[in-house]
Amino acid sequence: MLTFGDNESNESTNNVTENDTISPVVIITSPENNKNYSLVVNKLIFNASDDVGLQKCWYSTDKGRYNITTSCTLSISLNSVEGKNNWSVYAQDTSGNIGSDSVTFYVQTSPSVDTKPGVIGSIINFVKTPVITGIVIVGVLSVVMLWLIKRFKNKYEKTS
């Protein structure tokens, strides 16, 4: 509100509304951007503020395909996925300005096997597959059983 007057105390009051063009500030403090995690990340922690006032906040865990509206609280419980994660938080002020922050991080809860070049690497990559491992174990056991049967059969035939 502005008040105007002259030297004779004739005052006039006018309401002046200033257009808000400043977007809210959003900062994600956890998880950290470009960090590798060995455990599932289960919390999104952020700070949202505005010079006029926040109207609403929302977040996305998949580059905006699905947006989930939330209060502008500082912490949201959710779970990351194995591999690459993209989490974003958006805030809209009462003037309609939107601010945001995003993080990309990686989760690998299972140990990785380094691939080796050449024949050894091929064998390691081949054996990494559980089904193939099972087939190899059955094959090895079959060969051992055949060898034992042949050996005991020959021993039995020599003694009889």
pLDDT at 116 over 60: no
Percent of the chain with pLDDT over 90: 44
96-100: list long-range contacts, CB under 8 Å, 24+ apart: 97/20, 97/21, 97/22, 97/23, 97/24, 97/50, 98/23, 98/24, 99/23, 99/24, 99/25, 99/26, 99/48, 99/50, 100/26
pTM metric for this prediction: 0.59
16-59 residue pLDDT tens: 557 889 999 999 999 999 999 999 999 999 999 999 999 999 99
When mean pLDDT is compared across 55-64, 108-117, 125-134, the lowest value belongs to 125-134
Place of tokens 């998880």: 31
Q: Is the dihedral of CA 29, 33, 36, 39 positive or negative?
A: positive
Give, for 153, the enclosing helix (H) or strand (E). helix 130-159
